[in-house]
Structure 1
Amino acid sequence: MNYLLFSSILLLTPSLHAFNLDAFSKHIDSHQEEYVEALREWVAVESDSSDALKRPEVEKMMEITAEKLRKMGGKVDLVDIGNQELPNGKIIPLPKVVTAQFGNDPKKRTVCVYGHVDVQPAKQEDGWATEPYNLTDINGNLHGRGASDNKAPVLAWIHAVEAYQALNIELPVNVKYIIEGMEETGSNGLDAMVSQRKDTFFSDIDYIIISDCGWLSRRPALTYGTRGNCYFFAEVEGPKQDLHSGVYGGTVIEPMTDLIGILDTLINPSGRILIPGINEAVAPLTDEERNMYENIQFDMENYRKKIGVDRLMYSTKEDVLAHRWRYPTVSIHGIEGAFSASGSKTVIPAKVIAKFSIRQVPDMDPSVVEKQVTDYLNAMFAKRNSPNKLRVQMIIGAKPWVADINDPLYEAGKKAVKKVFGEDPDMIREGGTIPVAKTFEDVTGKRIIMLPIGGFDDGLHSQNEKMSRYNYIEGTKYFAAYLHEVAQIPKV
């Protein structure tokens, strides 16, 4: 876009009604207990999408979400997105996707808010200080599984529209929602649904907003990039059954030894990925981007202490942020089939499966990464001259995403942050993966912005996940303000 032309058009465009932050703040503050109770109801639903036995809970969560939007007067649909085949061959329905619409004025911009209401697994015995599915307020922090990822942000977007309705203020833009229940396991079925509705539900949308992310520090942030994720299983199979190490140890080539041996070839102690072609595909870090990192609020010492390690991989803020956001990483997550219970067991496992991932960045491609990893591990395994069998499988191939920080969408975000929080936001990337961002961009051709309200210490996917009252309530005001600011972008 010609941004000089954009500025000229903006000067000639009649301003919409001014945004009365005081009115919205008073309304939202006076309803915060109601908002907390709504979050309590949502957190109580164990919508763990990774557990097929919890599928009824995920479906219940989708119904609750749809009913909430219906009561607000939205045009709501529960969209069937097909079935899922489980590893045991059983086929079960995927949770329906909720779509909703508020307003259809062709003279207004139309924004679409994406969110998810499924969660990661959680058990109190895993180290939670409270019951994960009972929202608990401790010193202004609302603890519960899914509180920050992503139930409170979804509710904040709903409360923002409710605030316009309650104040009898016309929405400055048309608002659509698309809310799913399988994000934590790869958004099964969503890509096909987006493709099928490209020319219907998505046809009149101008922008897509995602709030499934968080701040880097206590300073608000706008997110302009995420890493992708290639998730692999590497299986080594040997004897026909588990063996006694005292009887058979020393006479067989053990699958676990082979597996650990090839895993050790993936990355060196300084963090460099050893798979040929991976590092060469990474887009170079520009001086402009590195300079931007210098101004970002990030306390390395607090970061280190929060993790609980003696030292980090890198010694400067710029290097830590770059390797957290815009360089690929290899992480080994676990070994299935290995003995992991308490006590001792002298067993040689017959089959073991390593689970590891590569977080990818522009300009890496999942299909290329799959071939690079598979070829490399097979070559490393061949060097071992083992009679065991190796099978490598990529089960997730999510692409990275990056946006233009000079887009008027981001200028609107900066204005809304300044209006509500009184300071300029950090411009950050996200080290995690939000696969749907790239899907939305590739399939619909729409521009995307990520507006996080989650705190930097919310503990996503970890024990004692929380969303602070401050971020939840002020975030609701921020979303209301953003709807006003994005309405100021003229149609060119």
Structure 2
Amino acid sequence: MVFPHTYRNEHTETITTNFTYGSWYAEHVRFKIPIQPTLLKLLKEIDGHENKFRHNLAKAISFKTIPTDPKYSKEIYGMKAYVESWFSKLGIRNESFDVGSTEINGKTITLPPITLGRLVKPGGNKKTLCVYLYLDVKDQKDIEGWETDPFTMVEKDAKYYGAGAASSKGNFLCWMHCLESFQTENIEIPVNIKFILESAYTLNSPGMMKFLVAKKQDFFNDIDYVVTNISEWLGPKYPSIVYGGVGYLYFTLTVQKTEDSTTEIEDDAQNIFKTMVNEKNRITIPHFNDFVDQVTPDEERVYESIKNFDPEEIIPLLPPNKQKWDKVRILMDFWRQPSMSVDESQKCICPDEMPIIKQEFTVKVVPKQILEHSVNLVNTHVKNTVNKLNIKNKVEVALVASVKHWQESMYQNLYQAARRATIQIYKEDPDMIREDRGRVIITILKIVFEKPVLCMPLIPHGCNKKVANEHIPKKNFMEATKLLAAFLLQVKDMKK
């Protein structure tokens, strides 16, 4: 197929030298996928248990699975027992493991155990999915605005309200209800599944990397794919599938006054930042953008096809230089362009002798930038700038934390299976999206297992995940369960 084409970069619009489109344009059309008889049985079974699903969600929400305070340890173990009861009912062999402790606000706390589940039928040629789920919620006393008790499920306006309804407990129960429907209808589950369940996701999963590495060669030695549902749709109406996300580097710049300096430490910090980022929020560090993926015609078509994003809603919030951008440039700016943000506040430490200021700044990195190389470029640039500007004050830059970016090919079989299942259930071709945020757990799963990772959201945007009045629409709670059933059948039929 040959089509005239224009694509954009951060500076202007240019005519591409590649006029031939790949598979995206040919494949990305709306079409219906028949509901196979097996799936039809499962859909009818799921539709018949709305009241039971509601009851199960209320039970799960009642557990105050807050990992930051030891006083909720009993609640976490109560939820663990609830999970084990589900696993026992479904024939999922399971075992829990202690993963040590971590430090929060200067206090050492014991981390909740990680539970592994195994639903595997020996022999055969079934594919093996590794499903990651989490069960914890944030401490609700730190969240203002709840109109109901966050740990007592309330049904209102065809929505189920409660802490974890849309984020943790809801996703877990969608999987359990899905597998239960297979067993109730005496339909063989078409894949092997190995579960990872934790209750420290809101702490960025400390201990998870070390634990998975230790278990990789035995428990996880035969997995083919990794699946998680930790995200949400781009908008409230159309389903989405996430195939990538950006990474972040978190730095601290420290400037300390010295005796032979004639400049103010605040001015020195400001002058250094001026050489790192311009007024358009573009990073100006030499060679920093060299490894960023080039825009292709196929990729731009993906952005153009997204239905769930209305640029008019966000344009008033953008800086003046971006308010004339169209949908494609705005999304690319969020998802595939490096940027830097500098904390407006300076922490001033003024001892009796030499004052010090500390200022935090964040750098967004994208595929195919290498984190270590990006850190070195920042450090080198700050050092060179100090010398160039002849700054006499003591300047130090330190990396505080980092989150690696991730990206999968949306054309691979796993993503096409998710796409076909979405069309079956929602009668809509899903938006293929990236995220403008770091996903610590996805990068851990990707690094450890070195397998394709699918992020398939089950809820629409606007469900207040992890904030006040979190909820899941009743319809989505049911449809998400159906989506998982359709997905498992599509994985079975995937071409090798």
Name the TM tier (shorter chain): 0.7 to 0.9
CA distance in 2, matches of 1:136, 1:451: 26
Aligned counterpart in structure 2 of residue 481 of structure 1, from 465, 482, 486: 486
- Any residues of structure 2 matched to 1:16-95 within 5 Å, and which? 18-49=36-67, 51=68, 56=73, 61-86=79-104, 88=106, 90-95=107-112
Matched, 1:226 2:245: yes
CA distance in 2, matches of 1:460, 1:125: 12
Aligned counterpart in structure 2 of residue 186 of structure 1, from 196, 204, 207: 204
CA distance in 1, matches of 2:275, 2:314: 27
Decide whether aligned partners of structure 1 residues 157 and 371 sit closer, same or farther in structure 2, where only a CA change above 3 A counts.
same
Decide whether aligned partners of structure 1 residues 462 and 94 sit closer, same or farther in structure 2, where only a CA change above 3 A counts.
same
Aligned to 1:105: 122
CA distance in 1, matches of 2:39, 2:302: 30
Give the secondary structure class of the aligned counterpart of 1:280.
coil
- Deviation, 1:111, is 1.2
Matched, 1:436 2:476: no
- The TM-score normalised by the length of structure 1 is 0.79
- The TM-score normalised by the length of structure 2 is 0.78
CA distance in 2, matches of 1:67, 1:235: 52
CA distance in 1, matches of 2:281, 2:204: 26
Aligned to 2:337: 327
Aligned counterpart in structure 2 of residue 313 of structure 1, from 322, 336, 344: 322
- Report % sequence identity: 26
Aligned counterpart in structure 2 of residue 268 of structure 1, from 271, 278, 284: 278
Q: For the Cα contact (< 8 Å) 2:253–2:395, is it kept in 1? A: no
The C-alpha deviation readout for 1:344-382, integer Å capped at 9, x for no partner, is: xxxxx9766544433321112222233333444555677
- Deviation, 1:312, is 8.9
Matched, 1:407 2:426: no
Aligned to 1:247: none
Matched, 1:458 2:469: no
Moved more, 120-129 or 357-366: 120-129
Give the secondary structure class of the aligned counterpart of 1:157.
helix
Matched, 1:446 2:451: yes
CA distance in 2, matches of 1:151, 1:334: 37
CA distance in 2, matches of 1:59, 1:334: 42
Gapped runs of 5+ residues in structure 2?
1-34
Alignment RMSD: 3.6
Give the secondary structure class of the aligned counterpart of 1:38.
helix
Gapped runs of 5+ residues in structure 1?
1-16, 240-251, 340-348
Moved more, 456-465 or 182-191: 456-465
What is the letter of the counterpart of residue 224 of structure 1? Y
What is the letter of the counterpart of residue 230 of structure 1? L
Q: How many residues align?
A: 451
Aligned to 2:6: none
Matched, 1:416 2:399: no
The C-alpha deviation readout for 1:418-442, integer Å capped at 9, x for no partner, is: 2111222222222222233333333
Aligned counterpart in structure 1 of residue 368 of structure 2, from 357, 363, 369: 363
Q: For the Cα contact (< 8 Å) 1:325–1:430, is it kept in 2? A: yes
- Deviation, 1:40, is 3.3
Moved more, 198-207 or 36-45: 36-45
The C-alpha deviation readout for 1:232-259, integer Å capped at 9, x for no partner, is: 34456679xxxxxxxxxxxx98877766
CA distance in 2, matches of 1:145, 1:234: 37
Give the secondary structure class of the aligned counterpart of 2:400.
strand
CA distance in 1, matches of 2:419, 2:246: 23
Decide whether aligned partners of structure 1 residues 87 and 129 sit closer, same or farther in structure 2, where only a CA change above 3 A counts.
closer
What is the letter of the counterpart of residue 398 of structure 2? V
CA distance in 2, matches of 1:466, 1:58: 21
Decide whether aligned partners of structure 1 residues 26 and 189 sit closer, same or farther in structure 2, where only a CA change above 3 A counts.
same
Aligned to 1:245: none
Aligned counterpart in structure 1 of residue 294 of structure 2, from 262, 265, 284: 284
Give the secondary structure class of the aligned counterpart of 2:168.
helix
- Any residues of structure 2 matched to 1:191-230 within 5 Å, and which? 191-217=209-235, 218-230=237-249
The C-alpha deviation readout for 1:142-195, integer Å capped at 9, x for no partner, is: 344433233322321222112112222221111221122233333211112221
Give the secondary structure class of the aligned counterpart of 2:364.
strand
Aligned to 2:194: 176
Q: For the Cα contact (< 8 Å) 1:102–1:175, is it kept in 2? A: yes
What is the letter of the counterpart of residue 117 of structure 2? A
Matched, 1:393 2:402: no
- Deviation, 1:224, is 1.5
CA distance in 1, matches of 2:482, 2:336: 31
Aligned to 1:470: 475
Q: For the Cα contact (< 8 Å) 2:281–2:341, is it kept in 1? A: no
Decide whether aligned partners of structure 1 residues 445 and 451 sit closer, same or farther in structure 2, where only a CA change above 3 A counts.
same
CA distance in 1, matches of 2:144, 2:348: 20
- Deviation, 1:77, is 1.2
- Deviation, 1:75, is 0.5
CA distance in 1, matches of 2:70, 2:357: 25
- Deviation, 1:288, is 0.9
Moved more, 271-280 or 40-49: 40-49
CA distance in 2, matches of 1:461, 1:330: 26
Moved more, 98-107 or 24-33: 24-33
The C-alpha deviation readout for 1:178-223, integer Å capped at 9, x for no partner, is: 1222333332111122211222111121211111112123211222
CA distance in 2, matches of 1:429, 1:45: 32
